[in-house]
Homo-oligomer: A and B are copies of this chain.
Amino acid sequence: MGIIRKTKSLKRVLDTFQKSDAAISVVQLIDNMKHHMNKTTVYRILDRLKQEGIVHSFHGKDGLKWYAKCSDHSSHQNTDTHPHFHCNHCGAVECLPIDIQIPDIPNLQISSAEVILAGICSKCNP
């Protein structure tokens, strides 16, 4: 399993993630790629990239699915609990390289966390 063939489509999507640290929504990516590949292909490429630990996914504050590349050091950023920040002004979403401290809750075994923060990013906040 995993990525077996380096197709043009795959390279094109991969390029998007390698050129920028920013997260991108599936909807946006499909639109960006619409002249080059089918939306089904985008979905399937994202699945493969995720399986390979190259990107991770999360749900934005609107419930839509977003993807971002995993940071270089941890190739399994899908399992850790770094938060995602959504700028309410420009719409950009970025991974924050910090760890949110989840307090121990009695009687609960917490194994994962998804944290979506929203506000104004540095570019929009002079």
- Stoichiometry, copies per complex: 2
A96 to B105, CA, bound (A): 9
On whether the beta carbons of B113 and A116 are closer than 8 Å, the reply is yes
By a CB distance below 8 angstroms, the chain B residues around A85 are: 105, 108, 110
A102 to B102, CA, bound (A): 10
On whether the beta carbons of A119 and B110 are closer than 8 Å, the reply is yes
| Nearest CB in chain B: distance from A109 CB, A | 4
Checking B63, B88, B100, B103 against A111 with a beta-carbon cut-off of 8 angstroms, the contacting residue is B88
**Which of chain B's residues has its CB closest to A125's CB?**
B109
Chain A residues in the interface with B (C-beta under 8 A) = 59, 61-65, 83, 85, 88, 96, 98, 100-103, 105, 107-122, 125
